[in-house]
Copies of this chain bind each other. A is one copy, B any other.
Amino acid sequence: MTKSSSFSPRQRFQTFEDPSHRKGPERIEALRAALRETGLDGFVVPRGDEHQSEYVPADAERLAWLTGFTGSAGTTVILMESAALVVDGRYTLQALEQVDTGLVTVVVMPLAETTAEGWIGANLKRDQVLGYDPWLHTPDGLARLERAVTKAGGTVQAVPNLVDAVWAGQPKPTAGPVVVHPDALAGETVVEKLARMRAALAEGGCDALVISDPHNLAWAFNLRGSDVEHTPLALGYAILPREGRARLFLVSPNVDPTLRAALAPIAGILPRSDLDDGLASLAGVRVRLDAATGAVALKEKIEAAGGTADVGKDPITAMKAVKNAAEVAGARAAHIRDGASVVRFLAWLDGAAASGGVTEIAAVEALEDFRAAGGDLRDVSFPTISGSGPNGAIVHYRVTRASNRTVRPGELFLIDSGAQYPDGTTDITRTVAVGEPTAEMRDRFTRVLKGHIAIARAVFPTGTTGAQIDAFARAPLWQAGLDFDHGTGHGVGAFLSVHEGPQRIAKTGTVPLEPGMILSNEPGYYASGAYGIRIENLVLAECRTMSGGERPMLGFETLTLAPYDRRLIEPALLDPGERAWIDAYHARVRETLAPGLDAEAHAWLERATPPLLD
């Protein structure tokens, strides 16, 4: 079958060009020339944008432009005689491959402290001045930077971004449409949301909120944009006073009149360039500024206006994490739509891979096409990770035309993908055997699946954090002396980011899980150079009542609907409860998806999901 090619050519959401380059020397030299002109001794270039975001618009890809490194986290420090790229362990190999290491030293730091302070402390000389862009650092981040620089005997100095000054051809900020996210999908009107936010401000003793996280902006004002790939954000800020109209300051001028009209009674939409005026009006006002995403530039402008910046938590973050009934209904609907597309893809893959003709890129394109055909697809929720054989063991693998390989018999194929629908964001990973898997592959897959089932079936008291249950997903691997080096699950938004906090199933997941939170459940196992296994469903935290129970308990409803590859399951490693759970899940997948499947995919699904207990 060559179903993917039967679609009419459409602009796909994912491309496969290698975004790295070998222009590091001249670009870094240009930056050094700018340093000389300004009298600075160095400049810090973090990966994030003005919102300290993981997903940044093209014009904020300064780190990639400068060094060639395209990972999602890292910081470069350029001094006159030396330069470093500081990354966490996930990106060691990628950084070494993409960066000119004769020019830039790659420094690997533990995940929790991906900061350049250590390197700066050791390399900056006494009396040197390190420049930074105050829009790209939080007050806390700047304080850490300043401590390191001061310890080295230097000073820091805020300057307009020097990369922007030397980046010829820097993309223009996007001007994508900013539209209404309908109340029917949002489940709560902007008026209702603003009332809750104002109550939280009152409780925190603040008079106003500066919203610096575009995810929170989108949630608060029931709007969606298109300034960033794969996440429907409208970049910008908002000022929400305890009383009176809110003001939004948006980068894109392309605001749908319907949105403007809908918000008119409660909020005005202004251009991003009016933000300074907005902040200047905050004299005498106690302003909550989000510690995680609010730039130090915001703090300084608030204070310059005579306001007080109360750096803490944007209350929206916690509200957004708990999905209401409409968002939950949307998520369920999106997952049924997505599941049918994934099943059609898996059915196609099963035939096509066996005949030896499927490449990683072909799989990505086919899956995107099946999703597009399923309807309502707005975007993929992130670039699909499509890894065959050894590429599957690279946790953040992104296939390019250069790395693309054909899935061969005897290999595992790992595909981690997701979609943006108006009613929900999906994220699913399946690992599929092509040809005959080895006994070790089956053992490892089954252990990963046992951990995945342990999370799916977990029951825990209210107040329990993700950190407390993370080990449930690891115990079957631990018993064999194995583990995986990423968290078990991240939060997921409602037609928003596929990585949303603060909820998380990981050692770092320190907030209590609450009914309505959506998280991924994705343990894995990676045999470096050989194969990778990951099994991922999204789950919804919900209340549980048990007969004879004494405590308010929570559990998970699994939202994702797609079969596990039975050829990789070793039933002898499963206990009766685990086998029954798989059978019940597969039955639910069949029953729920059947109405949306063509006869061929339906027949494949029936063949793929007979009970293990038979």
Bound complex: CA A549 to CA B481 (Å): 4
Q: How far, in Å, is A407 (CB) from chain B's closest CB?
A: 25
Stretch among A178-186, A194-202, A279-287, A468-476 lining the B interface: A468-476
Residues 473-514 of A, flagged 1 when their CB comes within 8 A of B and 0 if not, give 011001111110000000000000000000000010000000
Residues 150-162 of A, flagged 1 when their CB comes within 8 A of B and 0 if not, give 0000000000000
A470 contacts which of B468, B482, B575 (Cβ < 8 Å)? B468
Chain B residue nearest in CB terms to A525: B550
Q: How far, in Å, is A546 (CB) from chain B's closest CB?
A: 4
A460 at interface (Cβ–Cβ under 8 A)?
A: yes
A467 at interface (Cβ–Cβ under 8 A)?
A: yes
Q: How far, in Å, is A350 (CB) from chain B's closest CB?
A: 30
Q: Verify B483–A461 contact, CB threshold 8 A.
A: yes
- Find residues 537-557 in chain A having any chain B CB closer than 8 Å to their own CB: 544-546, 548-551, 553
Q: How far, in Å, is A204 (CB) from chain B's closest CB?
A: 16
A481 contacts which of B472, B481, B546 (Cβ < 8 Å)? B546
Bound complex: CA A549 to CA B550 (Å): 40
A481-B575 contact, Cβ under 8 Å, with A467-B467, A468-B471: no
Bound complex: CA A460 to CA B551 (Å): 29
List the B side residues contacting A467 at CB < 8 Å: 467-468
A459 at interface (Cβ–Cβ under 8 A)?
A: yes
A483 contacts which of B471, B482, B545, B551 (Cβ < 8 Å)? B551
List the B side residues contacting A545 at CB < 8 Å: 481
- Find residues 431-478 in chain A having any chain B CB closer than 8 Å to their own CB: 458-461, 464-465, 467-472, 474-475, 478
Q: Verify A553–B478 contact, CB threshold 8 A.
A: yes
List the B side residues contacting A507 at CB < 8 Å: 465, 468
Q: Verify B575–A480 contact, CB threshold 8 A.
A: no
Chain B residue nearest in CB terms to A474: B460
A478 contacts which of B460, B465, B475, B548 (Cβ < 8 Å)? B460
Q: How far, in Å, is A458 (CB) from chain B's closest CB?
A: 8
List the B side residues contacting A548 at CB < 8 Å: 480-481
A460-B471 contact, Cβ under 8 Å, with A550-B481, A551-B482: yes
A471 contacts which of B472, B478, B481 (Cβ < 8 Å)? B472
Q: Verify B459–A481 contact, CB threshold 8 A.
A: yes
Bound complex: CA A481 to CA B465 (Å): 17
Q: How far, in Å, is A266 (CB) from chain B's closest CB?
A: 36
List the B side residues contacting A482 at CB < 8 Å: 549-551
Bound complex: CA A551 to CA B480 (Å): 9
Q: How far, in Å, is A163 (CB) from chain B's closest CB?
A: 37
List the B side residues contacting A481 at CB < 8 Å: 459, 544-546, 548-551, 553
List the B side residues contacting A549 at CB < 8 Å: 480-482
List the B side residues contacting A459 at CB < 8 Å: 478-479, 481
List the B side residues contacting A575 at CB < 8 Å: 575
List the B side residues contacting A551 at CB < 8 Å: 481-483
Q: How far, in Å, is A541 (CB) from chain B's closest CB?
A: 14
Q: How far, in Å, is A580 (CB) from chain B's closest CB?
A: 14
Bound complex: CA A251 to CA B468 (Å): 43
Q: How far, in Å, is A441 (CB) from chain B's closest CB?
A: 13
Q: How far, in Å, is A229 (CB) from chain B's closest CB?
A: 35
List the B side residues contacting A474 at CB < 8 Å: 460
Chain B residue nearest in CB terms to A443: B548
Q: Verify A461–B478 contact, CB threshold 8 A.
A: yes
Bound complex: CA A478 to CA B469 (Å): 12
Bound complex: CA A464 to CA B470 (Å): 11
Bound complex: CA A88 to CA B471 (Å): 29
Q: How far, in Å, is A34 (CB) from chain B's closest CB?
A: 38
Chain B residue nearest in CB terms to A552: B481
List the B side residues contacting A468 at CB < 8 Å: 467, 470-471, 507
List the B side residues contacting A469 at CB < 8 Å: 471
Bound complex: CA A459 to CA B575 (Å): 19
Chain B residue nearest in CB terms to A576: B575
- Find residues 565-590 in chain A having any chain B CB closer than 8 Å to their own CB: 575
Residues 3-23 of A, flagged 1 when their CB comes within 8 A of B and 0 if not, give 000000000000000000000
Q: How far, in Å, is A282 (CB) from chain B's closest CB?
A: 25
Bound complex: CA A507 to CA B510 (Å): 10
Q: How far, in Å, is A529 (CB) from chain B's closest CB?
A: 13
List the B side residues contacting A478 at CB < 8 Å: 458-461, 553
List the B side residues contacting A480 at CB < 8 Å: 546, 548-549
Bound complex: CA A546 to CA B546 (Å): 38
Bound complex: CA A507 to CA B479 (Å): 22
Q: Verify B470–A472 contact, CB threshold 8 A.
A: no
Bound complex: CA A483 to CA B544 (Å): 14
Task: Please name 20 pairs of A and B residues whose Cβ atoms are closer than 8 Å in the assembled complex, sorted by A.
Answer: A458-B478, A459-B479, A459-B481, A460-B478, A461-B483, A465-B507, A467-B467, A468-B471, A468-B507, A469-B471, A472-B475, A478-B553, A479-B546, A480-B548, A481-B544, A481-B545, A481-B546, A481-B548, A481-B549, A483-B551
Q: A460-B478, A461-B478 are known contacts; what are 9 more A-B pairs with Cβ within 8 Å?
A: A459-B478, A459-B479, A465-B507, A471-B471, A480-B548, A480-B549, A481-B546, A481-B551, A482-B549
User: Across chains A and B, which 3 residue pairs bring their CB atoms closest together, nearest first?
Assistant: A481-B549, A481-B546, A468-B471
